[in-house]
C-alpha cells in the first residue's frame, strides 16, 4: 500500500523514478524498490518523498477531528 501511495505522489508531479531520485538524493532503483514493495521506506523517507511531490502527511483523530502534522511537534518528544 505504501508503495502505491509513493508511486501516486510521484506520478502526480509527472516525475519519473530517476528524476524523483535525483531530487531527494536516492538511486532510481531504490525508488523502484519502494514502489514495488521490495524495500520498506522509513517514515522520514516517506515524508521526504511526499514533501518533494507537494503533499503533507497528517494524522487525524476520527472522534474529535483533531488534526496534526509532523511539523507540529519535535521528534525528540516522541
Q: Over the stretch 11-42, which tens digit does the pLDDT of each residue have?
A: 999 999 999 999 999 999 999 999 999 999 99
Domains (range + CATH), the chain: 2-77 (1.10.260.40)
Report whether 52 contacts 20 (CB < 8 A): yes
CA atoms within 13 A on the CB side of 4: 1
3-state helix, strand, coil in the chain (%, to 5): 55, 10, 35
Reported pTM: 0.83
Q: Over the stretch 32-69, which tens digit does the pLDDT of each residue have?
A: 999 999 999 999 999 999 999 999 998 888 999 888 88
Report whether 48 contacts 34 (CB < 8 A): no
Amino acid at each position: 500500500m505504501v508503495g502505491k501511495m509513493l508511486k501516486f505522489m510521484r506520478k502526480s508531479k509527472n516525475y519519473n523514478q530517476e528524476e524523483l531520485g535525483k531530487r531527494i538524493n536516492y538511486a532510481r532503483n531504490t525508488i523502484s524498490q519502494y514502489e514495488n514493495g521490495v524495500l520498506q521506506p522509513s517514515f522520514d523517507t516517506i515524508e521526504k518523498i511526499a514533501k518533494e511531490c507537494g503533499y503533507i502527511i497528517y494524522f487525524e483523530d476520527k472522534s474529535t477531528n483533531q488534526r496534526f502534522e509532523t511539523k507540529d511537534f519535535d521528534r525528540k518528544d516522541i
